[in-house]
Amino acid sequence: MSAPVEQEYEALLQFMYMAPIGLVQTLADGEITMVNPLCAQLLMPLSPDGQLANLFTALEAVVPDLRQRVREFPDAYGTICDAQQVPISTGQAGRRQHQVLSLTLLKLDAERLMAVLSDVTQSVRRERELRQSQAWINTLAIGLSDYALVSLDHRGCVKGWNPSISRITGFSREQVEGRSLSMFYPADAMSDQRVLDRLHEADLTGWSLDEGWCSRADGGRYWGSCLIAPLHDSDDTPADELAYSLIIRDVSDRREAAEAMLKAVSCDHLTGLFNRRAFVEAAELEMQRWARSPRPLSLVMIDADHFKRINDQYGHVTGDGVLRHLAASMTATFRAMDVLGRFGGEEFIVLLPDTSVEGAELVAQRLCRLIEATPAAVGEHTVRYTVSAGVAAMDADATDFDALVQRADEALYAAKARGRNRVERWQAATQPAAVR
C-alpha cells in the first residue's frame, strides 16, 4: 500500500524545502512563480527592493545583462547560461561576506524559465588552490631547469652562501649575504614589508609560492617561480631564530603558458588588468596582512571623465580603445607590486601596499597628468580625454575593504564634483556621506 497522496505531497514539499540547491521557475519576463527556500536564502540579500517577485530584478546588481540574454536567446528551448560564476558581496557594513554563486538558467519553453543557483564559494577557492599546488608540483616533477637554494633568517635576509645562487641569479657571495631576498626581484616588486608578509604566510600554510618576474645581478629579467618554506618546526621557536629556505627556479620557458592561465582566470578581457573578482581576492589578502600588522595601505579609484560622450562621439570600439589606453597608462605609472583592476565600466581601481595616502595621491596625480598629455590613438581617431581619481588610506576606523572602497569612491565623487581631471583625497571631517 502506498502512502496517501497528501502524505506523499507533504514529503515531496519537504524534499524541496530541504534541497541544498536553489531552484526557481519564472515566466519569460522573470516573474517568479515557484521558488525553494535555499534560492530565497541566496537571493534575498541581493534583492534591491526586498522582494522576490522577479528573478531578473533580484539579480540585477550582479548579472545586469540577464534580461537581455533571455530576450536575445534564439532557441525555443535550451541553456541560456551554464554554471556561470557570479561573485557577490552581502552582509552589513563592517562584516561584508564575499561569495561566489553559480547560476544556470534554462529556457523551458516560450513562457517558462528555470534557474538553478548554488553557493560555490568553497569549491572555487579549493579549485584555485589546487591549481596553484598543481603548478608547483609540475615544476618539481617536470622542470629540468636549475634552481637556487637560499637560506633566509627571520627577516628574510640571506644567511648562507652556495654556488647555486650565483648560477641562477648571477649575484656573488658578497652581494647577497645579509641582504634581503627582495634583491632577487625587480626594484618595485617586493618591499621589506611584503617580504615579512610572505614569511608569515609560509609559517601559516607551510609554504608561500609565487611566480613572476625576477631580476639578475646584471639587471636582466627572468620568469621565476619562488617558494619559501619554513625550516623551523614549531611555533615555539623564538622570533629571531626563525629560519626559512627559498627556492628560486628560472621557469622562463613556461612564462607564456603561466601568464595565459593567470589571464584567463583573473583578468578583464578588454584591458588585461585584474577583473573585479581577482582584484577583491588580492585586496582581501592585503586586508588580512593589514589586520595582522597595520601599515600604510592606500586605494585609488579612477574614472574616465565624460566617457559616455566618448562612446557617443566615436562609437564603442573606440571607447574600448580608450579604456585599453587608460589601462596601459596605469600599468606604466603604478608599481609592479600595486594591484590594478577594472572595477566595472570605465571605473578602475588600484591598491597600493606600503603606501601612504600622500604617496598614493602623488602617483594618481602623475597618472592624471600623463593621460591629459597623451591622447589615445585608436584607429583613425586621436581621442583626448581626462580622468578623475579618489584616494583613500586604510586606518582603524575603516572596518573592512568595502569601507575603504567607499572612502575612495567618495573622494572620486568629490573630484568629479570639483571639475574633473583631478585627484581628491578622502577626508573624514569635511567629506559628507556621498549619495550617488
Partner 1 sequence: MNTEHHVSFADAAIFDFLERADDAELDGLDFGVIGMDDASHVTRYNRFESIAAGLSPDRVLGHALFTVVAPCMNNFMIAQRFEDAQQDGSALDDTIDYVLTLRMRPVKVKLRLLARPGSALRYVLVHRQT
* 51 binds partner 1, rule: CB under 8 A: yes
Distances (CA, A) of 177 to 158, 161, 166, 185, 340: 5, 7, 12, 16, 34
* 428 binds partner 1, rule: CB under 8 A: no
Angle subtended at Cα 339 by Cα 158 and Cα 176, rounded to the nearest 5 degrees: 15
- Distance in Å, CB of 62 to partner 1, minimum: 15
* 32 binds partner 1, rule: CB under 8 A: yes
91/178 with CB nearer partner 1 = 91
DSSP3 helix / strand / coil % (the chain, rounded to 5): 40, 25, 30
One residue of 3, 8, 27, 41 binding partner 1 per CB under 8 A: 41
Residue with cell 524545502: 17
* 178 binds partner 1, rule: CB under 8 A: no
36/180 with CB nearer partner 1 = 36
How far is the C-alpha of 393 from the C-alpha of 54, rounded, in Å?
A: 39
The amino acid that residue 264 corresponds to is: A
- Distance in Å, CB of 402 to partner 1, minimum: 14
Q: Which three cell numbers stand for residue 164?
A: 647555486
Segment lying near partner 1 (by CB under 8 A), choices 51-59, 109-117, 135-143, 374-382: 51-59
One residue of 35, 101, 199, 267 binding partner 1 per CB under 8 A: 35
* 50 binds partner 1, rule: CB under 8 A: yes
One residue of 8, 10, 29, 82 binding partner 1 per CB under 8 A: 10
Chain center to CA of 258: 17
One residue of 28, 52, 183, 243 binding partner 1 per CB under 8 A: 52
In contact, 244 and 202? CB cutoff 8 Å: yes
Segment lying near partner 1 (by CB under 8 A), choices 11-19, 211-219, 224-232, 358-366: 11-19
* 53 binds partner 1, rule: CB under 8 A: yes
How far is the C-alpha of 166 from the C-alpha of 171, rounded, in Å?
A: 5
* 44 binds partner 1, rule: CB under 8 A: yes
How far is the C-alpha of 283 from the C-alpha of 295, rounded, in Å?
A: 14
- Distance in Å, CB of 376 to partner 1, minimum: 43
Strand partners, 376: 383
Nearest Cα residue to 94 out of 344, 403, 363: 403
How far is the C-alpha of 132 from the C-alpha of 114, rounded, in Å?
A: 35
**Catalytic-role residue among 346, 361, 410, 424:** 346
Report CA torsion sign: 392, 331, 130, 146. Answer: negative
In contact, 155 and 196? CB cutoff 8 Å: yes
SS3 label, residue 109: coil
25/275 with CB nearer partner 1 = 25
How far is the C-alpha of 43 from the C-alpha of 51, rounded, in Å?
A: 9
Task: Count the residues of the shown chain that bind partner 1, applying the rule CB under 8 A.
Answer: 31
27/231 with CB nearer partner 1 = 27
- Distance in Å, CB of 48 to partner 1, minimum: 13
- What are the CB-based long-range contacts (under 8 Å, 24+) for 233-236? 235/203
- Distance in Å, CB of 22 to partner 1, minimum: 9
* 205 binds partner 1, rule: CB under 8 A: no
One residue of 34, 260, 265, 291 binding partner 1 per CB under 8 A: 34
* Phi, psi dihedrals of residue 187, rounded to the nearest 5°: -55, -35
Site for partner 1 in 92-131 (CB under 8 A): 92, 95, 97
The amino acid that residue 11 corresponds to is: A
How far is the C-alpha of 418 from the C-alpha of 261, rounded, in Å?
A: 42
40/403 with CB nearer partner 1 = 40
361 catalytic? Reply is no
- Distance in Å, CB of 215 to partner 1, minimum: 46
* 4 binds partner 1, rule: CB under 8 A: no
Longest Cα–Cα distance of the chain, Å, equals: 89
Report CA torsion sign: 310, 316, 319, 323. Answer: positive
- Distance in Å, CB of 138 to partner 1, minimum: 40
Sketch the per residue contact string, 55 through 94, with partner 1: x for CB under 8 A, - otherwise. -----------------------------------xxx--
- Sites of contact with partner 1 (CB under 8 A): 9-10, 13-14, 16-18, 20, 32-42, 44-45, 47, 50-53, 90-92, 95, 97
Query: What residues are labeled active site?
Result: 346
